[in-house]
Amino acid sequence: MSFESIEVCVYGAEVLCPSCVNLPSSRETYDWLQAAISRKYPEQPFTITYVDIHSPEGDQEKLQFAERVIEEDMFYPVVVIKGEVVGEGNPRLKTIYAELEKYGYQPK
């Protein structure tokens, strides 16, 4: 079975979100998610992108969403898959896995 590679976007900042003081940083969450998704769905293509909300890089969609995170005071890191926010502040693996499985990913 073949399917398209999904991009998982993690929006965050080097500085911890004020409400997230005891949580991992956005960058740590990005690293953790990359490892967890790779383990759960080996040999299934995905990309994971980190976007710094204070100096975003990427396409227009990423720039606009980074702005939205700041404007709406969202808890970061914010995890987005295909335009859907699937995690905010302290993202849950179960929710992210469920979203990936909607697109055909098979856990191993």
Over residues 43-74, the pLDDT tens digits come to 899 999 999 999 999 899 999 999 999 999 99
- pLDDT at residue 33, rounded to an integer: 97
Sign of CA dihedral 68, 3, 44, 47: negative
**Residue 52 to residue 27: CA distance in whole angstroms:** 9
CATH architecture of 6-102: 3-Layer(aba) Sandwich (3.40)
pTM above 0.85, yes or no: yes
Share of the chain above pLDDT 90, in %: 78
Count of beta carbons in the 10 Å neighbourhood of residue 8: 22
Count of beta carbons in the 10 Å neighbourhood of residue 10: 23
How do the domains of the chain map onto residue ranges?
Answer: 6-102
Spatial CB neighbours of 34, under 8 Å, sequence gap ≥ 6: 48
